[in-house]
A and B are shown apart, each in its own frame.
Chain A
Amino acid sequence: MRKLMFVGLVVLVAFSLLEAQSTRNARHVVPTGKGWGMEVPRDIAPPVVITGNGINYHGGPVLMESFGNEAVTFESRIPTQNIVYEPTYGKLISRRLYQNKPPTILDLPLEMQWEAVNIPDPGNPVGAKGVGEVAALAGSAAVLCAIQNAIGNRCVLRTPVTPDRVLDALAANGARPVRLTTYA
């Protein structure tokens, strides 16, 4: 019984803290000229940073860099990850990792860059926005749109986007006599 009461108390305190946090005015990290928020050593990432007239969470540069790299890693799935279903039988046939090909370390760029956008999210009580895979979704679409723009109105609507699939999209325009059909 005591144990139950203790757990209940902990849950109550947790919820009260959440409520307090949700009523706080939305703030966002202010650039200082030497990075985001207060100047911190790159290997130390304080979770809470005091900026101007409020307190905000920004995770620290190390965390941001880590998530930024994660976003690039997710986006690099575009050219390689190969999920293939047999259309007649509806079965997944790329079952093994050597068949569905998630990107490996050599498929990633040697140098990755990330940038934080200094605009708070009005839909969130603290103005926070997602990093990492959340950003990657938009990134993947952006890369596909860029390919689409580059080759004209020839649809590359599905991933993976490999060289033969881009050639296929070009050939499908009808200008080429060569059949290069690939599935996507």
Chain B
Amino acid sequence: MAVIHDVMPAFLLLQPATLADAQKLLEQQGLDAWILAGGLDSLDWLKDRMRKPKAVIDLSGVQELKGVRSTSDGIEIGAMTTLTELASHPIVQQKYHLLAEAAEAVASPQIRNQATIGGNVSQDARCWYYRAGWPCYRAGGNICYADTPDGRNREHAILHAERCVAVNPSDTAPALIALDARFVLQTAKGERVISADDYFVGPDIDITRLNILRPGDLLSSIRIPATWAGAQFYFEKIRDRQVWDFPLLNVASAMTLSGDRIERIRIAVNAVAARPLRLPSVERAVAGKPRSAATGEMAGNLAVQGAVPLQFNSYKIPLMRNLVKRAIAGGQEATWTSYSGQ
């Protein structure tokens, strides 16, 4: 009998109405539970029958997880807030425009209407070998199909590869790192608040996941402090087509200026490694320097140090250098540098 791959496996659908109920269900189901936020990442996994959870916990009915709230120190974004709502929220647009820009760059309008911020930062790797069920390191096997002489790896990592060369595909993640966001996790041991930078993990720490969420853990909200409200922001995403595409590379920066000099800065890039990368060496190097093309050039060269290209993705090195340069100097100031300048 033919195997039908187009039908989802049967599962128990659980739809809690409160966060407490959701946690209780997660605890009850343990390893059999699959958390469903917007469903954009889950759909592929379930429809391809690559994942066969016994129970799916649908968070769409949990009102506590939705919306953007003002706090005494900035804003708190519920993990189930849709990207459309986030991108059009007045406070986000006014004070944290970087995040609005990043959210707006995700996929297409229809997907943004359904996709959530929690799902966007927690989505799994999009490596086509891994997603198609090839038994690679990340899937529990003992090979990386992308990192072979003939492997198709144009979209893969240039930094911090450790057996797996998949990249983190999130657009909002570097923006949240640049804004010094805090992620609020609900765990079996209680609430835990961690920095955005610490939420993501590379294959050297855990090759089977892109973030620190363990079974039973739940990302409930994201807090953005007022520290960077109204700062000078820069976000740029490079992709093959202008809509509905994951980044080949993206960059986000937040900076404050004192005259024409850079006072403070946070900068992060994504789609170059299995986790979004904050660039502390670049931040230190440009602090106190004038915001100019020369500073951007220096920052770009510093950012790509240590990058090791695979067979088909060397273009990501000049791309990253140019994006960092533009994020420091501003898109108007910095012209693209030819790859021959290396």
Contacts and interface: CB of A to CB of B under 8 A. Distances in A.
Contact of B245 (A91, A98, A168): A98
Interface in B300-339: 309, 311-315, 318-319, 339
Contact of A96 (B44, B148, B151, B318): B44
B311 A104 contact: no
A107 B108 CA distance: 13
Contacts of B11: none
Interface stretch (A5-13, A19-27, A141-149, A173-181): A173-181
A106 B237 CA distance: 15
B137 interface: no
Nearest to B108: A104
A93 B243 contact: no
B241 interface: yes
B342 A182 contact: no
A183 B339 contact: no
B242 A179 contact: no
Given A82-B240, A104-B108, A183 B315 contact: no
Interface string B104-139: 000010000000000000000010110110000000
A97 B314 CA distance: 25
Interface residues of B, number: 31
Contact of B154 (A79, A80, A105, A182): A182
Contacts of B311: 181
Contacts of A179: 309, 314
A103 B151 CA distance: 25
B242 A176 contact: no
A88 interface: yes
Contacts of A99: 126, 128
Contacts of B154: 164, 182-183
A98 B248 CA distance: 13
A181 B314 contact: yes
Contacts of A64: none
B315 A80 contact: no
A178 B307 CA distance: 14
A87 B240 CA distance: 22
B281 interface: no
Interface in B250-276: none
Contact of A104 (B126, B151, B242, B340): B242
B315 A168 contact: yes
Contacts, number: 83
Nearest to A179: B314
B150 interface: yes
Given A167-B339, A181-B311, A182-B313, A106 B242 contact: yes
Nearest to B246: A98
Interface in A89-114: 91, 93-99, 101, 103-107
Nearest to B319: A164
A100 B132 CA distance: 14
A178 B342 contact: yes
Nearest to A92: B132
Contacts of B314: 178-182
A170 B240 CA distance: 19
Interface string B228-252: 0000000000001111111000000
B129 A178 contact: no
B145 interface: yes
B289 interface: no
A97 B170 CA distance: 18
Contact of B315 (A101, A107, A180): A180
A153 interface: no
A16 interface: no
A162 interface: yes
A179 B151 CA distance: 17
Nearest to A102: B241
Nearest to B310: A181
Contacts of B340: 176-178
Contacts of A84: 128, 152
A86 interface: yes
A93 B129 contact: yes
Interface of B: 44, 108, 126, 128-129, 131-132, 145, 148, 150-152, 154, 240-246, 309, 311-315, 318-319, 339-340, 342
Per CB-CB distance, the 5 closest pairs between chain A and chain B, nearest first, are A164-B315, A106-B242, A106-B243, A93-B128, A104-B243
Interface of A: 79-80, 82, 84, 86-88, 91, 93-99, 101, 103-107, 160, 162-164, 167-168, 171, 176-183
27 contacts: A80-B240, A80-B241, A84-B152, A86-B129, A86-B150, A86-B151, A93-B132, A95-B132, A101-B241, A103-B241, A104-B242, A104-B243, A106-B243, A107-B241, A107-B243, A160-B240, A162-B240, A163-B315, A164-B315, A168-B315, A176-B339, A178-B342, A179-B309, A179-B314, A180-B314, A182-B315, A183-B154
